[in-house]
Amino acid sequence: MARAFEVAEALAPTRPHPATGESAVANIFVGPPIVVFDKVRDAMRDWRKRVGEG
């Protein structure tokens, strides 16, 4: 069960997106692209922090 939770957490958006609504159908279609966008944005933010430190 812990592994299932880790997978779900890895596939979840990292910030709230209220414009997608509460609909399960909307979350199925809009969720995956938003996850990719959030992960790229987080990676860029982390990269900028690391580059700025050095």
For residue 16, the model assigns a pLDDT of: 79
For range 13-38, the mean pLDDT: 82
Paired tokens of 28: 């199925």
- Cα–Cα distance between 15 and 31 in angstroms, integer? 12
- What share of the chain has pLDDT > 90, as a percent? 22
Question: Average model confidence (pLDDT) for the chain?
Answer: 85
pLDDT of residue 54 exceeding 70 = no
Half-sphere exposure of residue 27: CA atoms within 13 angstroms, side-chain side: 10
7 falls in which pLDDT band (50, 70, 90)?
confident
For residue 15, the model assigns a pLDDT of: 78
In this structure, which amino acid lies at residue 13?
P
Say what the pTM is. Answer: 0.64
